[in-house]
Structure 1
Amino acid sequence: MNIDALLATPSELTDTANSGSKCAIVLMTRIRLARNLARHSFPGWARETDRADVLGLCREALAATAPMKRSSMQAVIGDLTELQKQMLVERHLISRELSGTKGPSGVVINRDQTFSVMINEEDHLRIQILRSGFQLKKAWTAIDALDTELEGRLDYAFDSTLGYLTACPTNLGTGLRASAMMHLPALVISGQMEKVVRAVNQLGMAVRGLFGEGSDASGSIFQISNQTTLGESEEAIIKRLGSVLQSIIEHEVNARGKLLETDGARLHDKIGRAYGILQNCHLLTSSEAMNLLSLQRLGIDLGIFPDHTRPVIDRLLIESQPGHIQHAAGTDADGARRDMLRADKLRAEFAAFAKPDFVKPDQEQETENQNRKPPASNDHNSDPI
């Protein structure tokens, strides 16, 4: 499988309809393991010949593992175009750091893009699993199996006291980073997100934007992950993160209910205006697109749009990114041209999108009952929302 065939296949992140997760607030679950080979210098200190040896050893070992031997794409980073690397970053399959790496480095990705292994990034191996929806336990079971396979083929750098040895001390021990990509528009709109971030940080978790450290939270999408990797078992880290995520989900659900109760008209107005812009826009930046699509996704969760349209929005969150816009157009484009192409794409998608229905089912029944009898002469204060 080559890179072009892989990029022509939809991302795992867009498959929320078949994720098996009933929690729409969590878009994606990701677990990453940092591993290094014994008797080889860490990539940042290694000679090019040593990095090349590690690249060859890891690619050979990965090719024989169950997730990769059926069908996978192997690539040397230096052989990829800038656009191909950008698309892999946008799909969360490689890091920005790996995309800018010089010298021997690579990536191995399985066909359905659930497993991605970066070679010679900060560590010799960054083993990653992606699952759409809230699937921490399933993701851990799957990545643990792949890691066990690799450990049987490669000699990992491991210390009986410290655990897995890593280039950065913050990854020492389990080498595990578990995270969830969460859609939290109500907490953002209601001004509660800053308070949530402080509380999560106090619990030993990190909160970052869509593309990790240093990125913004366009579309009200945040990554929540563990910060400590030493002194806890992998299962304990997964369990603790899961509890924090459940708490954040509850806060987001409560914030949505409160917004509907106290300021429903304004919330519906935001969603309706976003729908109108997406149907009629002619220039749209990446950030604008993310924020508008976020409001449509919130509308789906609130029953304003049909539930079956959620995968469309999740697909567009990826496909409206700069690399994907250029790939679809078949040409490189500057920022202004991308904004035009993005608007054209979203306008075409929303020409056939379901129309919003701002009336709840119980309100429809109430309206129907009211229509069966003469309106009360003094009923001037009813709320239509």
Structure 2
Amino acid sequence: MKWYEEKDAENDVIVASRIRLLRNLRDYKFPWKLEEEDAKRLTKELEEKLCGIGSLDGRSYQTWDLLTMTQTKRNALRERRMISRRAAKEPGYAGLICSADDAVSLTINCEDHLRMQISHAGSQLRQSWKEMDKIDDYINELYPYAFDDQVGYLTTYPTNIGTGMRAYLVLHLALLDSVSRFDDMVDEIGRFGLKLKPAFSSDRQLNGNMYVLYNEKTLGTSEEEILELLDKVGGQLASQERTLRDNSIEQHRLEVEDICYKAYGTIRYSKLMTLKMGMHLVSQLRWGQEKQIIRFKEYCNFYEIMMGMQEANLTAQNKTTGVSKQNQLRADYLRSCLPELVQP
């Protein structure tokens, strides 16, 4: 089972939690300073030394060479936020250790010596941090980290110095992002050292109402303070979204039902589907399912579907290119994922 198939009580709005740590090894040059042979040697050494992390959580792990991986495969991993943009485009001699459930990924020797990440479904920031902290301690016993007593962990980019940690909440703001004050809310969130941005694309039209909330500040704050702030602000956003959904159903139930069933019918019978339209329709079905406006014979994981319909993931599944062909394959993919309805 993949991590995003987990069911959490709060994942109606809080879809996923993620912790990312950046670390560099004290006794080695930073990746951008390493000569080619040294980079190859360090990557191989880390892959061999870190293969035992499965003993910490019982997961099975596999090692990949990012440089020899196809561009489409790297792009697909990037769409699923398992590797960075740099690792997808210019991996160099980077390696990847990834768990079978896709929850844990360790990118080796790309921007930093280690980019470690763990994801869970729903509101599980602290569980994610608990597991990541254990992996971090395990590696630190093998290798001392580059650390300064005044500023904290040293990273390639100054914006990551300090804790080296980014904590993320993926939020489905199906109604909140359409209110007139939404942009003001985004600006207000920035005053707390957090950022709210589209989860799948910088273009909100392609985003399916999915957003990621994360800390921009890593220096001068603790991991616990970051988690507490994310929980507080994420919880407030989720509460406002739930209120809007409840009010919409109470005041306009028939219209909401009509939107959901039309979305279902469009997906069920479409022969071509653009990414923009597909994300929009799936977003409507997702919150309709969570509020039981539309009921399926089996639970449908629409977040997984959103990841699967992205361009690189769709291409990786079908080994094809071309916009028109992708639109056809996306329509086929969505139909294949859609469960049968429970008849009212």
Structure 2 length-normalised TM: 0.91
User: Which among 277, 295, 301 is matched to residue 306 of structure 1?
Assistant: 295
1:108 offset after TM fit, Å? 0.6
Match of 1:180 in 2: 169
Q: Does 310-319 or 243-252 show the bigger shift?
A: 310-319
| Structure-1 separation of matches of 2:41 and 2:282 | 45
1:142 offset after TM fit, Å? 0.4
The amino acid that maps onto 2:242 is V
Evaluate the alpha carbon distance shift between residue 242 and residue 356 of structure 1 in structure 2; reply closer, same or farther with a 3 A threshold: farther
Are 1:338 and 2:326 matched, yes or no?
yes
Match of 2:47 in 1: 59
The amino acid that maps onto 2:6 is T
Mapped contact 1:218–1:290 kept (Cα < 8 A): yes
Match of 1:353 in 2: 340
Total equivalences in the alignment: 342
Evaluate the alpha carbon distance shift between residue 280 and residue 355 of structure 1 in structure 2; reply closer, same or farther with a 3 A threshold: farther
| Structure-1 separation of matches of 2:157 and 2:174 | 33
1:210 offset after TM fit, Å? 1.6
| Structure-2 separation of matches of 1:69 and 1:124 | 24
Evaluate the alpha carbon distance shift between residue 249 and residue 266 of structure 1 in structure 2; reply closer, same or farther with a 3 A threshold: same
Q: Secondary structure of the residue that 1:98 maps to in structure 2?
A: helix
| Structure-1 separation of matches of 2:335 and 2:259 | 18
Mapped contact 2:297–2:340 kept (Cα < 8 A): no
Q: Secondary structure of the residue that 1:134 maps to in structure 2?
A: coil
1:262 offset after TM fit, Å? 4.2
Evaluate the alpha carbon distance shift between residue 99 and residue 110 of structure 1 in structure 2; reply closer, same or farther with a 3 A threshold: same
Q: Give CA-to-partner distance per residue, 1:75-124, whole Å, 9 cap, x none.
A: 11111112221221222211222011242111110122111011122211
User: Which among 113, 117, 120 is matched to residue 124 of structure 1?
Assistant: 113
Mapped contact 1:30–1:180 kept (Cα < 8 A): yes
Match of 1:255 in 2: 244
Match of 1:232 in 2: 221
Structure 1 length-normalised TM: 0.82
Q: Give CA-to-partner distance per residue, 1:34-81, whole Å, 9 cap, x none.
A: 100114332233322332233123212211223588621111111111
Q: Secondary structure of the residue that 1:208 maps to in structure 2?
A: strand
| Structure-1 separation of matches of 2:131 and 2:91 | 31
1:163 offset after TM fit, Å? 0.7
Match of 1:196 in 2: 185
The amino acid that maps onto 1:61 is K
User: Which among 79, 95, 102 is matched to residue 106 of structure 1?
Assistant: 95
User: Which among 8, 16, 23 is matched to residue 6 of structure 2?
Assistant: 16
Mapped contact 2:118–2:128 kept (Cα < 8 A): yes
Match of 2:36 in 1: 48
Evaluate the alpha carbon distance shift between residue 153 and residue 162 of structure 1 in structure 2; reply closer, same or farther with a 3 A threshold: same
Are 1:72 and 2:67 matched, yes or no?
no
| Structure-2 separation of matches of 1:64 and 1:298 | 40
Mapped contact 1:157–1:164 kept (Cα < 8 A): yes
Are 1:291 and 2:241 matched, yes or no?
no
Flag structure 1 segments of 5+ consecutive residues without an equivalent: 1-9, 358-385
Structure number with larger C-alpha Rg: 1
Match of 2:74 in 1: 85
Evaluate the alpha carbon distance shift between residue 170 and residue 110 of structure 1 in structure 2; reply closer, same or farther with a 3 A threshold: same
| Structure-2 separation of matches of 1:75 and 1:153 | 21
Mapped contact 1:16–1:311 kept (Cα < 8 A): no
Identity, % of aligned positions: 28
Q: Secondary structure of the residue that 1:79 maps to in structure 2?
A: coil
1:332 offset after TM fit, Å? 1.9
Match of 2:19 in 1: 31
| Structure-2 separation of matches of 1:197 and 1:356 | 40
Q: Give CA-to-partner distance per residue, 1:192-237, whole Å, 9 cap, x none.
A: 432321221122101122247x464611000000111111111111
1:292 offset after TM fit, Å? 0.7
The amino acid that maps onto 2:17 is T
1:22 offset after TM fit, Å? 3.5
Evaluate the alpha carbon distance shift between residue 333 and residue 97 of structure 1 in structure 2; reply closer, same or farther with a 3 A threshold: same
Evaluate the alpha carbon distance shift between residue 23 and residue 154 of structure 1 in structure 2; reply closer, same or farther with a 3 A threshold: same
Q: Secondary structure of the residue that 2:31 maps to in structure 1?
A: coil
User: Which among 257, 281, 302 is matched to residue 270 of structure 2?
Assistant: 281
| Structure-1 separation of matches of 2:6 and 2:58 | 25
Evaluate the alpha carbon distance shift between residue 230 and residue 247 of structure 1 in structure 2; reply closer, same or farther with a 3 A threshold: same
Q: Secondary structure of the residue that 2:63 maps to in structure 1?
A: strand
Q: Secondary structure of the residue that 1:251 maps to in structure 2?
A: helix
Match of 2:230 in 1: 241
| Structure-2 separation of matches of 1:49 and 1:169 | 26
